Structure 1
Amino acid sequence: MDPHEKEVTQSCHSSSNEEKSTEGNNTDIENQNTPPAPAQDLFPETDLNRGIVGWEGQDDPKNPQNFPSSKKWALLGLVSAMTLISPLASSMFSPAITFMAAEFKETNETILSFSVSIYLLGYTFGPLLLAPLSEIYGRRVVLSGANWFFVVWQIGCALAQNIETLIVCRLFAGIGGSGCLTLGAGVIADLFPREQRGMATSIWAMGPLVGPVVGPIAGGFLGEEAGWRWVFWLLLIAGGVMAFGMEILNQETYAAVLIRWKTEKLAKETGRNDLKSVYEVGKEPASPKQVLAQGLKRPFLLFCKSPIVLLLSLYMSLIYGLLYLFFTTISDVFTSQYGFSVGLSGLAYLGIGFGFMAGLAFIALTSDRVVVRLTRQNGGKFEPEMRLPMMIFFSCIIPISFFWYGWTADKHVFWIVPIIGMFPFGLGMMGVYMPIQTYVIDCYPAYAASANATLTATRSLVGALLPLAGPKMFDTLGLGWGNSLLGFVALAFIPVPIIFTKYGKVIREKWPVNL
């Protein structure tokens, strides 16, 4: 447990429990659908006699954990909707790239691939800034600013007169688009108790995984019929509508910021200058500059000092890189070998898409139930590693697609066969991606945004750079052996989830990180 969390607990004389915004301990869970009755002092309460400001009782309606279920899911739905638009932009441009290349007379395949993948470099830099800012100034204002930043740069992309301008605008659009991807994890930790996070994370993660699949389908037809610039005009319209909707309907959910605002208001009303937020008890007074510096260091601290976060980040990055290497061949294979039009070639991504949806449904329906059962079997003591066992099964499925798709496409087997061959990868990737995402939220509920920023930044960096090697690799090895190489890499990493499941707790507890 974070030392600061211990101090909060001691100040409020509260029993340890993970579902306090800054706690990570455990309580027994009776069943899947009905959350356990809250233990006394589940959330830190106000004690003005001691100058401490917290929640006004365990049922305080202003506590995001006590929001009505309909309001919680509506807020998550807002974030999830924007989380679909942003990843859509990562791949929607891909099928239309041939039209852009013709207009700009660009023939360098690496530069053309980079104009697509540069967006993911924005996903690398953005989270490292936006996550800590949200833990200092709140989720709402940071998410709002990031959304509008994403929207504005679509104009630059649509009006670009050369490929250099397009690449720069895509980079900045990616930085803004990373906001919803990064802060969604924090919003889930803010709103939902542990036994509901599997379902919540599944809904929120639909965008980052489904968006890159839907994007090429829409972008192919749009680029063919209306021109490549309309890809960005459509993103501008859809992103603008969603950003405006969030501006009107979204609200702050981060407990530490809400209590800080409450403390400032009470201090002004009562004239007391000794009041302190319960989430700041035991912390040394710090200037805004020091607070910001500490917040910005947090994702790097997690990456460098937490072996479990480092290892999970690298494993997720590998799987994510394999996805985008997959993407480098699909459109070209189905246009050149099977005679599909640019628009129709986007439909080939449905194989992965259906796999994503099947995996999403499976994880959403089973993750929380498995955790509830394992917690009960463990005498009511929850451990974040309970999220990880199902990764073992799904990691074994991932390699199947590379051999199936690679050799059927190489031998020109009927087009539906390689498309079906992509399904196992989509299913397996979701089964690996989702447990890692939820595990990190469970480990660091108070700093879920920063922990997720570490995952997002590392996987996006690999997803942006690794595909640049794709065209050269497949030209050299061919579709069959090129995909087989990726399949062998995926096979070699199957033991990794086993290690995480068996030794994850030992690693996490041996190297705690003071955030």
Structure 2
Amino acid sequence: MGEEEPNTSSANSTLEELSFEKQSSLEKQPSNLDEPTKQPTNQPLYPETDLSQGIIGWEGQDDPENPQNFPDSKKWILLGLISAFTLVSPLASSMFSPAVVYMGEQFGETNEIILALSVSIYLIGYTFGPLFLAPLSEIYGRRVVLSVANWFFVVWQIGCALSKNIETLIVCRLFAGIGGSACITLGAGVVADLFHERLVEKRLRFGEVSWQWIFWLLLIVGGAMQLGIEVFNKETYAPVIIKWKVAKMAKELGRTDLESVYDVGKEKLSPGQVLKRSLLRPALLLVKSPIVAFLCIYMSFVYGLLYLFFTTISDVFTSTYGFSVGLSGLAYLGIGLGFACGLFIMAITNDKIVSKMTANNGGKFEPEMRMPTMIIFACIIPISFFWYGWTADKHVFWIVPIIGMFPFGVGMMGVFIPIQTYVIDCYPAYAASANAALTATRSLVGALLPLAGTPMFDSLGLGWGNSLLGFIALVFVPVPIIFVKYGKTIREKWPINL
């Protein structure tokens, strides 16, 4: 096995050189795997098998085993199911918040930090899970890692629902978070697997039921979603598919010289060495790629603001507006609808804007074309803190602070989606690991920052506490402008070749 799989176009270039200029021309392979190889349009997009050179690749450009040649219906069913599970998993982190009071009464726990930890510990799982799930998927394939992790998430909901003390609940929530991080982390990898990187065109109310039913519901919904994924899912990571193919053909043909096209010209490493390097890859991306590090910091900041929001919502609507704990869950509708609206706006505008910018750039696509819309959405985010904070502080009619959360939801989606698609476009060969770095850093901030939320709001009050967050968000508004203006320069100055 090789140290890392090159992107598709680099592999194509290597294969062409092998076919016509012999093995010595491997030295001509480009050193920056993240920059697309410039090649004529009549050259193959996917690397093919050349038995005369002992190289195993795809059986033609239309090979049905190539995930990028899967029927569109199969691609969208699989992505739809993974997306549905991706909605369930983050929901598990926050939908427990309104029921924490009930749980605390039952377990006799009054410490606000411990109660907050029972919610945020799930995100600690989100921090550690991606660091090994993503690289494992790049060694053993997406399907087996995603399947095991999703079922791991589902099973730990039973432990949460049957917990007899808060310590057990916290531990079960931690493990559930580790499993639940897989769909968040590997979803980007599946997108990169199924769609060629340069084809750019293409909360709940619980009346009077017990808090345990939150976890039973997650068990039912999560289990149903994963059953669907099991039926429709198939391995999508090309280097792993070709590795299996090499083993099969070597046995059938009795040849020991066969090699995967994705391993050509690379250092031969033992499985242990490959695993070690793969496990370190998300951290190395943070260290070696300033653009990944900057994006992680900015995304973590926005994510931390979200969970600081969550620390006050349930208490505000129960103590200030007289909602029951169950009914207080409806207060999350404002931010939830904002998420939906932001997602819809990005879905109908993102690719259109990128396509137009590509056309204006002589048909050359650049990942930084994902970034300009972030400037608008970053300006929307601070609105919610002043609106929600002061209307709740002055006891304005309850619907007004709920509506005040809406802009934040819109802005957050408008920031998150471009960042995630950007790292896929920049580093297609490391898509899962880059996304793991994003998920781990933002989850750590989202887990720890809310622990300081209650003391902060107790000291400053809702109005000034939220205004402080709003002013900080305003300071960060120019950050996307920096990404747009200097992103390409930073990316090209520090290329990644792990």
- TM tier, smaller: over 0.9
Alpha-carbon distance, 1:442 to partner: 0.5
Cα separation, 1, equivalents of 2:195 and 2:337: 28
1:195 shift after superposition: 6.0
Superposition pairs for residues 271-286 of structure 1, below 5 Å?
Answer: 271-286=254-269
Matches within 5 A, 1:384-423: 384-423=367-406
Contact 2:10–2:36 (Cα < 8 Å) also in 1:
no
- Contact 1:27/1:381, CA 8 A, preserved across alignment: no
Q: Which residue of 1 aligns with 2:460?
A: 477
Matched, 1:109 2:119: no
Deviates more, 1:347-356 or 1:189-198: 189-198
Deviations 1:125-169 (A, max 9, x none): 000010000000000000011011111211111111111111111
* Separation in 1, partners of 2:363, 2:246: 35
Partner residue in 2 for 1:181:
184
- How high is the TM-score relative to the length of structure 2? 0.93
Whole-angstrom CA distance in 2 between matches of 1:257 and 1:419: 47
Counterpart residue identity of residue 340, structure 2: M
Partner of 2:329: 346
Q: State the partner residue of 1:323.
A: 306
Of 469, 493, 496, the match for 1:510: 493
Q: Can you list the C-alpha shifts for 1:247-303, whole angstroms capped at 9, x where unaligned?
A: 222110001111111111111110111110011111111111011001101101101
Verify: 1:61 aligned to 2:72, yes or no.
no
**C-alpha contact 2:10 2:37 (8 A) present in aligned 1:** no
Is 2:101 aligned against 1:98? yes
RMSD of Structure 2 on Structure 1 (CA):
1.9
In 1, Cα distance between the equivalents of 2:274 and 2:475?
42
Which of 440, 457, 477 is matched with 1:457 structurally? 440
1:427 aligns with 2:410: yes
Give the secondary structure class of the aligned counterpart of 2:267: coil
> Deviation at 1:478?
0.2
CA distance in 2 between counterparts of 1:133 and 1:453 reads: 11
Partner deviation per Cα, 1:446-490 (whole Å, 9 max, x = no partner): 211101000000000000000011110000000000000000010
The 3-state SS of whatever aligns with 2:451 is helix
Paired with 1:396 and 1:355, the residues of 2 have a C-alpha distance of 15
Q: Give the drift of 1:417.
A: 1.1
Query: In 2, are the aligned partners of 1:55 and 1:63 still within 8 Å (CA)?
Result: yes
SS of equivalent residue, structure 1 residue 42? coil
Deviation at 1:237, TM superposition (A): 1.8
For structure 1, the residue ranges without an aligned partner over 5 or more in a row are 15-21, 29-36, 200-213
Aligned counterpart, 2:29: none
Amino acid at match of 1:144: S
Give distance in 2, aligned partners of 1:416 and 1:238.
30
SS class of match (1:12):
helix
Q: Write the deviation string for residues 86-133 of structure 1: whole angstroms up to 9, x where unpaired.
A: 112111211111111001100000100000000000000000010000
Offset at 1:8? 2.5
Deviation of 1:508 after TM superposition, in Å, equals 0.5
Of 72, 77, 85, the residue aligned with 1:74 is: 77
Match of 1:13 in 2: 16
Deviation, 1:40, is 2.5
Quick one: distance in 1 between partners of 2:219 and 2:131? 24
Match of 2:426 in 1: 443
- 1:432: Cα distance to partner? 0.6
Residue pair 2:198, 2:365 contacting (<8 A) in 1 also: no
Q: TM-score, normalised by structure 1?
A: 0.90
Aligned letter for 1:67? F
Which residue does 1:300 correspond to in 2? 283
Structure 2 letter corresponding to 1:58: Q
**Which one of the candidate residues 227, 242, 250 is aligned to 1:259?**
242
Aligned residue in 1 for 2:135: 132
Does 1:495 pair with 2:498? no
What is the CA distance between 1:338 and its match in structure 2? 0.9
Residue by residue over 1:50-108, the C-alpha shift from the partner in whole angstroms, topping out at 9 and shown as x without a partner, is 11111111111211111111111011112112112211211121111111100110000
Tell me what 2:156 maps to: 153
**Are residues 443 and 296 of structure 1, via their aligned partners in 2, closer, same or farther at CA, if it must alter by over 3 Å?**
same
Equivalent in the alignment of 2:21: none
Work out the percentage of aligned pairs sharing the same amino acid.
72
Q: State the AA in 2 paired with 1:456.
A: T
Whether 2:8 is the aligned partner of 1:25: answer no
Cα distance between partner residues in 2 of 1:468 and 1:411: 25
Contact 2:379 2:474 in 1 (8 A): yes
- Structure 2, gaps ≥5 residues long: 18-32
**Deviation for aligned residue 1:363:** 0.6
Q: Tell me which amino acid in the other structure corresponds to 2:217.
A: L
Distance of aligned partners of 1:299 and 1:287 in 2 relative to their CA distance in 1, 3 Å threshold? same
Q: 3-state DSSP class of the match of 2:208?
A: helix
Query: Partners of 1:73 and 1:249 in 2: how far apart?
Result: 10
Q: 1:364 aligns to what?
A: 347
In structure 2, C-alpha distance between the alignment counterparts of 1:150 and 1:448, rounded to whole Å: 23
Instruction: Give the C-alpha shift of residue 242 in structure 1.
Output: 2.0
> What secondary structure is seen at the aligned counterpart in 2 of 1:96?
helix
Q: Is the 8 A contact 1:26 1:380 kept in 2?
A: no
Matched, 1:141 2:162: no
CA deviation string 1:478-503 (max 9, x = no partner): 00000000000100001110101100
Aligned to 1:381: 364
Correspondence for 1:207: none
How far is the alpha carbon of 1:377 from its aligned partner? 1.2
Moved more, 382-391 or 3-12: 3-12
**5-14 or 479-488, which moves further after superposition?**
5-14
Question: Matched residues in 2 for 1:98 and 1:177: separation?
Answer: 24
- C-alpha deviation, 1:9, in angstroms: 3.7
Judge conservation of contact 2:5–2:263 (CA < 8 Å) in 1.
no
Paired residues, what number?
480
